[in-house]
Amino acid sequence: METLSSFPARRMRRNRRDDFSRRLVQEHQLHASDLIYPVFVQEGTHEVTPISSLPGIARQAIEPLLHTAERCLELGIPALALFPVIPQARKSLDAAEAWNPDGLLPRTVQALKRRFPELGLITDVALDPYTSHGQDGLIDESGYVLNDETLAALARQAVVEAQAGADVVAPSDMMDGRIGVVRRELDQAGKIHTRILAYSAKYASSFYGPFRDAVGSGQSLGTGSKETYQMDPANSDEALWEAGLDLAEGADMIMIKPGLPYLDILRRIKDQFKAPTFVYQVSGEYAMLQGAIQAGWLDEKCVWESLLSFKRAGADGILTYFALRAGEWLKAQR
């Protein structure tokens, strides 16, 4: 007769029994160097303006922002992603403020670089903070976003950002051909070291709502939609197609956005191209978790789990509004 102890033959729980072996068999780890902290930059000196749909996140003027940057460096977070809040009076149909070398974003990049040259700075390339209609590109009379006319504007914007000191420019506009045009114009301006992080798989998502509140593009956009350029959430082969084009045009890194609802896309792109692949845990994902944590419905550990899911799915790095908090947990663990 079979003894009880020989069944089950494989005991998966043995490795889970003690802390030491749980740690030894752990496959994925989150490090501070995986994190990118997105920040909202506003005019002024000391102003900090909370964003109600992003509890715990605020628009920051330069002084508090310098403080935030210093905190990131202390925690080992390699880079900030900057998003400017442009005053309504500076928005226009042609988005000209986007390539104003004395604009809010270039001035902020210069100030951060002067103080913290070793901190990586990533700037967005897209016109939505600058257009009076909130679209990422220039529009025709019918409101359709024009591709090729927008490319020229994006390239000017990218060059101004790079000249101000941005280390990485990140086109998030989803126009066709933008990576090639931005690379060519950067090279022509002598900015051969400026990296391009391409938002290759950027979906037309409802999870961007709080971000649009934060930069004030939601109000301008009104009932307008971005589905003539951002991707259909129903598609995944198309994301590979987009990533392949962006890499061929000169992208140095790829972004998938949003994160949690698109883990399958992250895994497929990483497997297919083996390029540096990043994921954006967007504002709505943050709001969802943070709201439930604040209501007492979820334990804060759910954040950790969400970040690990990105690592498991193949992310080399994660853009997340939880970056500072995760950095603090990691430091406390050391």
Residues that bind ligand PBG (CB under 6 A): 124, 126, 128, 136, 172-173, 208, 211-212, 217, 226, 282-283
Given the residues 202, 226, 270, 311, the one annotated as active site:
202
Q: Is 311 a catalytic residue?
A: no
Q: Are 155 and 250 in contact (CB under 8 A)?
A: no
In the complex with ligand PBG, which residue's Cβ is closer, 61 or 95?
A: 95
Query: Do you find a cis peptide bond into 258, omega within 30 degrees of 0?
Result: yes
R_g of the chain, CA atoms, integer Å: 21
Query: What length does the chain have?
Result: 334
In the complex with ligand PBG, which residue's Cβ is closer, 128 or 249?
A: 128
To ligand PBG, the closest distance from the beta carbon of 9 in angstroms equals 48
- The phi and psi torsions of 248 (rounded to 5 degrees) equal -65, -30
Given the residues 91, 226, 257, 311, the one annotated as active site:
257
In the complex with ligand PBG, which residue's Cβ is closer, 150 or 309?
A: 150
Helix pair angle (237-249, 263-273), 10° resolution: 50
Could you give the CA distance from residue 16 to residue 19 in angstroms, rounded to a whole number? 7
Q: Residue 323 in 3-state DSSP?
A: helix
Residue 51: closest CA among 288, 282, 211? 211
User: Any binding-site annotation on 300?
Assistant: no
In the complex with ligand PBG, which residue's Cβ is closer, 227 or 271?
A: 227
In the complex with ligand PBG, which residue's Cβ is closer, 15 or 321?
A: 321
Q: Are 105 and 163 in contact (CB under 8 A)?
A: no
To ligand PBG, the closest distance from the beta carbon of 320 in angstroms equals 9
To ligand PBG, the closest distance from the beta carbon of 11 in angstroms equals 44
To ligand PBG, the closest distance from the beta carbon of 199 in angstroms equals 8
To ligand PBG, the closest distance from the beta carbon of 292 in angstroms equals 17
Could you give the CA distance from residue 306 to residue 11 in angstroms, rounded to a whole number? 28
Q: Residue 113 in 3-state DSSP?
A: helix
Q: Is 331 a catalytic residue?
A: no
The residues annotated with a catalytic role in the active site are 202, 257
User: Which residues make up each annotated binding site?
Assistant: 242
User: Which residues make up each annotated binding site for Mg(2+)?
Assistant: 242
